[in-house]
Amino acid sequence: MTALACARITYKLHRHAAVFCGQGVRWASLLRQEGYINGQWVQAMSGKDFKVTNPANGKTIASVPDMDERDTQVAIDAAYAAFTSWQATTAKERSALLRRWYDLVEANKEDLAILLTQEAGKPLSESQGELNYGSSFLEWYAEEAKRIYGEVGQSQSKSKEIIFIRQPIGVASLISPWNFPNALVTRKAGAALASGCTCVIKPAEDTPLSALAVVDLAHQAGFPPGVINVVTASRTNTPGVGKLLCTSPKVAGISFTGSTAVGKLLYEQCASGIKRIGLELGGNAAFIVFDSADIKTAVEGLMVAKFRNAGQACISANRVLVQDGIYSKFVEAVKAAVGTELEVGDGLEKGVNQGPLINDSQLKRLERIVGESVAAGAEVVMGGGGHKLGGLFYQPTILSGVTQDMVCFKEEIFGPVVAITRFKTEDEAVAIANATECGLANYFYSRDISQAWRVARKLESGMVGINEGLISAAEVAFGGIKQSGIGREGSRHGIDDYTYIKYLCFGGVN
């Protein structure tokens, strides 16, 4: 971090918190190095921990408990016991706590953003954007808590009255990913808590600090013990922890965001208990640019949809399809934008807007995808390899002449690589876009209103951005179809995964 950035952040003292700032160490109240179970900050029963490192420089930021199934069972038991009283709280009481949590996040956004940048590597400006996004879910569900309505049905019998009410399902296991370690905790927990559920949160092993920090603020907001719990675990212990979160008879449902492969495994594990499940899995988004599109606007949209978090987003534009009539102009425009607008480096440095990849596994995977695609005939317009900064940094890359059989089209890239192919007709573009097992998001650009309606309806995905590259918000129903998941997060529909409908039949009323 620059001296200027250090100087403008005021840190609070806490004996368990240390954060690297240049060559010195400052104490920060929001950097927790314990798990959170039943309202207490605790170490792993085994006494073991694991390190959390900054992907920009490989330095250790902190160590957190390496919890296993025993710790997880304690957390589940705490959530299960707390559910008895938490489900009986009024919507107004839950709303007030969520609003208090939101206010505390808003008051601590700068500290949270710096912590997020250090553990996730994303530029500080993006971390600040994620904090705004994440807190918006707490605000949204503070309001939605008071709008979980039932229904009155019309009976065919004069002696009966029919009522449907919604009730919380119970304990919810929330497994969040590393790429949005703040927002995907608040998105899940906000909905669960608003519904009257208690929860056990398992953050990704690469980025547990943001989850712990935001839950620290929930603790300060006054949530009762056991209502929110956080279990941290290394890669070694994660499979066992995840399995227990899916199979425990005390867990009523699970929400997971991550890879399709892991999602399938968790889905299978939940089957034994017939759990309620919400899955937001991998994507392979098409970004279609029709001849009628405004090229400048389309390029601006692509820069957002592709390079946010260095391309490490489930809704990142993966397959760029450009119609023949503007193909050459569009490729040149993208090249110019990438060459002038992206500054790669440590996310805490001024002017940087693309950070490193999260870990070595992601770097090697990206190198394989680009290498195999180039070997198959893709042309490197720019970039194509590791950045001069070394480490986990990768050059912003453009590949043209890509075909559907290349690995960069078949697999989710999850990195700062634009893969461009050309098409002739609208039907061809739609067919290419739909030729995937994924169905999370798609994007297209067109100034033809009739075409906009036709294509939007034909694209097989849960979300479609039309002349827009940024589609996430608290008020939208976020989720996919096909192998991209089950259920929706955000909007009023985010409550659905955490409530069930109870039918009440009143007889003898006439």
CA distance 188 to 505: 32
Please tell me the predicted confidence (pLDDT) of residue 24: 32
- Domain membership flag for residue 173: yes
- Domain membership flag for residue 228: yes
Say if residues 36 and 229 touch (Cβ distance below 8 Å): yes
Based on the fold, state whether residues 81 and 229 are members of the same structural domain.
yes
Give the angle 212-216-222 at the CA atoms, nearest 5°: 145
Pairing status of strand 285-289 against strand 317-323 = parallel
Based on the fold, state whether residues 273 and 290 are members of the same structural domain.
no
Select from 231, 168, 232, 173 the least CA-distant residue to 199: 173
Based on the fold, state whether residues 240 and 181 are members of the same structural domain.
yes
Query: For the chain, how many structural domains are there in total?
Result: 3
Residue 433 — φ and ψ, nearest 5°?
A: -60, -40
Which residues are paired to 443 by β-bridges?
287, 465
Question: Which of 314, 408, 426, 438 is labelled catalytic?
Answer: 314
Please tell me the predicted confidence (pLDDT) of residue 510: 79
- Domain membership flag for residue 51: no
3-state helix, strand, coil in the chain (%, to 5): 40, 25, 35
Select from 285, 284, 248, 295 the least CA-distant residue to 79: 248
Select from 82, 85, 79 the least CA-distant residue to 200: 79
Based on the fold, state whether residues 291 and 275 are members of the same structural domain.
no
Please tell me the predicted confidence (pLDDT) of residue 26: 37
- Domain membership flag for residue 277: yes
Based on the fold, state whether residues 326 and 417 are members of the same structural domain.
yes
280 has catalytic annotation = yes
Cβ burial of 508 (10 Å; 0-12, 13-18, 19+) is: exposed
- Domain membership flag for residue 366: yes
Select from 251, 225, 219 the least CA-distant residue to 241: 251
12: domain range? 1-31
One-letter amino acid at 186 equals T
Token pair for 196: 């009257």
Based on the fold, state whether residues 133 and 251 are members of the same structural domain.
yes
- Domain membership flag for residue 49: no
- Domain membership flag for residue 381: yes
CA distance 120 to 129: 14
Give the angle 18-23-25 at the CA atoms, nearest 5°: 20
One-letter amino acid at 484 equals S
Helix H segments across 230-359? Answer: 238-247, 260-271, 295-307, 327-341
**Taking the CB of residue 397, how many other CB atoms lie within 10 A of it?**
23
- Domain membership flag for residue 508: no
Q: Where are the beta strands (DSSP E) in 83-160?
A: 151-153
Please tell me the predicted confidence (pLDDT) of residue 4: 28
Select from 289, 354, 347, 346 the least CA-distant residue to 317: 289
Say if residues 266 and 242 touch (Cβ distance below 8 Å): yes
DSSP assignment string, 86-103: HTTS-HHHHHHHHHHHHH
CA distance 501 to 84: 18
Based on the fold, state whether residues 264 and 291 are members of the same structural domain.
no
CA distance 345 to 349: 7
Based on the fold, state whether residues 291 and 314 are members of the same structural domain.
yes
Question: Residue 408: which CATH number?
Answer: 3.40.309.10
Please tell me the predicted confidence (pLDDT) of residue 28: 62
CA distance 163 to 53: 53
Question: Residue 188: which CATH number?
Answer: 3.40.605.10
Based on the fold, state whether residues 294 and 345 are members of the same structural domain.
yes
Residue 120 — φ and ψ, nearest 5°?
A: -105, -20
Per-residue pLDDT of the chain (510 residues; tens, 9 = 90+): 333 233 233 323 333 333 444 323 333 678 999 999 999 999 999 999 999 999 999 999 999 999 999 999 999 999 999 999 999 999 999 999 999 999 999 999 999 999 999 999 999 999 999 999 999 999 999 999 999 999 999 999 999 999 999 999 999 999 999 999 999 999 999 999 999 999 999 999 999 999 999 999 999 999 999 999 999 999 999 999 999 999 999 999 999 999 999 999 999 999 999 999 999 999 999 999 999 999 999 999 999 999 999 999 999 999 999 999 999 999 999 999 999 999 999 999 999 999 999 999 999 999 999 999 999 999 999 999 999 999 999 999 999 999 999 999 999 999 999 999 999 999 999 999 999 999 999 999 999 999 999 999 999 999 999 999 999 999 999 999 999 999 999 999 999 999 999 999 999 987
Based on the fold, state whether residues 362 and 428 are members of the same structural domain.
yes
Please tell me the predicted confidence (pLDDT) of residue 304: 97
Question: Which of 34, 126, 144, 280 is labelled catalytic?
Answer: 280
Based on the fold, state whether residues 245 and 154 are members of the same structural domain.
yes
Based on the fold, state whether residues 367 and 243 are members of the same structural domain.
no
